[in-house]
């Protein structure tokens, strides 16, 4: 009898299915096996920790969700795409230059607020040149006076441009703001424009006194 046949013979005796009584050695082995099984059955039952169940259930839930949403990246992907698209649009279309931002402002008080905020920035010479050129375009007198004040605060000297704008300026308060600046920034090359301004017939007496004072003293 080989080992496999011997093991099958033992199992038949253990289960009570053998046709004949076991031999002495076989009986000894059968009894030993029966004692071992009995001893195993009498061992105390170890209860698993309650948290084990919870951990298992959580693990199963996570598995189920993962199955429904293959990955967290996939879950947020549409939002990420929308955000990325918006960022791209903003990058492309939001004005990066002062002039572009200024052009989007609709009301005069908001334009003055925008100009006022520039006092807190150190402006480049290109930006200052744009502000000077804005004096030619901007029609509102209060905006022009705020611009002149800002340009002067930023230390920008533009006597030639200022004198050119002065010649056609209509509002006395703005004329005076130009003259106050030109008095400090006077250069001989602006004298012809100041003379032309002085020849205007519509000047307010206070403005005329001011321009004549500059022409006499310079």
Please identify which residue in 118, 177, 182, 211 interacts with other proteins, judged by CB under 8 A.
177
Q: Which of 145, 156, 167, 215 binds other proteins (CB under 8 A)?
A: 145
Q: Is 161 in the site for other proteins (CB under 8 A)?
A: no
Q: Does 207 bind other proteins (CB under 8 A)?
A: yes
**CA 156 centroid distance within chain:** 34
Our CB check for other proteins shows the closer of 30 and 177 to be 177
DSSP labels, 78-142: HHHHHHHHHHHHHHHHS--SHHHHHHT--SHHHHHHHHHHGGGS---HHHHHHHHHHHHH---HH
Applying CB under 8 A, does 171 fall inside the site for other proteins?
yes
Q: Which of 9, 142, 154, 198 binds other proteins (CB under 8 A)?
A: 142
Provide the mask over 7-46, with x wherever binding to other proteins is found by CB under 8 A and - wherever it is not.
----------------------------------------
Containing 185, the helix (H) or strand (E) segment is: helix 172-185
Does 113 contact other proteins by CB under 8 A? yes
Sequence-distant (≥ 6) Cβ neighbours of residue 87 within 8 angstroms: none
**Residues constituting the chain:** 218
Instruction: Tell me which residue of 206, 147, 198, 154 sits closest to 176, measured CA to CA.
Output: 206
Footprint of other proteins (CB under 8 A): 107-110, 112-113, 116, 140-142, 145-146, 149, 171-174, 176-177, 180, 204, 206-207
């Amino acid at each position: 009898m080989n080992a496999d046949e011997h093991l099958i013979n033992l199992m038949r005796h253990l289960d009570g299915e053998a046709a004949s009584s076991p031999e002495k050695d076989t009986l000894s082995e059968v009894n030993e096996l029966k004692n071992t099984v009995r001893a195993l059955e009498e061992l105390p039952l170890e209860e698993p920790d309650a948290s084990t169940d919870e951990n298992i259930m959580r693990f199963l839930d996570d598995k189920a969700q993962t199955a429904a949403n293959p990955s967290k990246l996939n879950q947020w992907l549409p939002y990420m795409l929308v955000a990325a698209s918006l960022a791209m649009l903003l990058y492309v279309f939001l004005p990066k230059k002062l002039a572009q931002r200024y052009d989007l402002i609709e009301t005069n008080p908001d334009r003055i607020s925008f100009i006022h905020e520039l006092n807190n920035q150190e402006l480049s010479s290109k930006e200052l040149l744009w502000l000077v050129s804005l004096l030619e375009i901007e029609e509102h007198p209060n905006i022009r006076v705020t611009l002149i004040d800002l340009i002067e605060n930023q230390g920008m000297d533009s006597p030639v441009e200022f004198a050119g704008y002065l010649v056609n300026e209509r509002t006395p308060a703005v004329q005076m703001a130009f003259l106050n600046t030109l008095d400090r920034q006077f250069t001989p090359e602006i004298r012809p424009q100041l003379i032309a301004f002085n020849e205007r017939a519509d000047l307010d007496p206070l403005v005329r006194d001011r321009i004549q004072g500059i022409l006499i003293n310079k």
